[in-house]
Structure 1
Amino acid sequence: MPSVWPSVWAILALYLLAISVVAFAAFAWDKSCARAGRRRIPERTLLTLALAGGTPGAVAGQRLLRHKTQKQPFRSRLRWIAIAQALLVVALCALAIL
């Protein structure tokens, strides 16, 4: 019987890639709206995208687009989300080794 795990990992990887692209696009759109004086994406939405797994895209959007780099507490919250997710990955890897 073939293992189903490779397909689960592939689906997870595709999801994380997709949510990161969406998070980056949201940061880009919000930056564009800020420059044009249009209605903005709520910070809660941007942080939710990061929390849903889009942290790489959110951090890339923040750094590359220079968007919300000085805004507190947003910057701290995004950093805590990234730290929590990194710790989760380390814990899951440690469990997989045992």
Structure 2
Amino acid sequence: MIMTTTVALFLMAINALTMLVFYQDKASAIAGERRVRESDLLTLAFIGGTPGAFLARHLFRHKTRKEPFSTHLMVIAVVQIGALIGWFLL
């Protein structure tokens, strides 16, 4: 029970952070300021922020057509979904 709560809190926090960083990157892009590295955005997705990344892309219309970023984010999502399916099947 404690493990489930901890994981849920972590996922909520990492997704909120991911959305915030995507928003900051979008604001920096508009202002012509220094940007967040794509590798940092993808790392946030990789460690659990994938839903937040996809939601932020939609809400802020940010990095929606950027390649290879979009492909890398999609690969991360597919691997995570595969891992979840594998976890529940075992």
TM-score grouping bracket, smaller chain normalisation:
over 0.9
Which amino acid counterpart does residue 27 of structure 2 have in structure 1? S
RMSD (Å), alpha carbons = 0.5
**TM-score, scaled to structure 1:** 0.90
Cα distance in 2 between the residues matched to 1:84 and 1:22: 21
Q: Structure 2: any 5+ residue segments left out of the alignment?
A: none
Residues 1-98 of structure 1 aligned to structure 2 (within 5 Å)? 6-95=1-90
Cα distance in 2 between the residues matched to 1:49 and 1:90: 21
Moved over 4 A (4+): none
**TM-score, scaled to structure 2:** 0.98
Identity in percent: 42
Which amino acid counterpart does residue 65 of structure 2 have in structure 1? Q
Q: Structure 1: any 5+ residue segments left out of the alignment?
A: 1-5
Asked which structure has the greater CA Rg, the reply is: 1
Q: Deviations over 1:5-64 (max 9, x none)?
A: x10011001101100000010100000000000100000000000001000101111111
Aligned length: 90
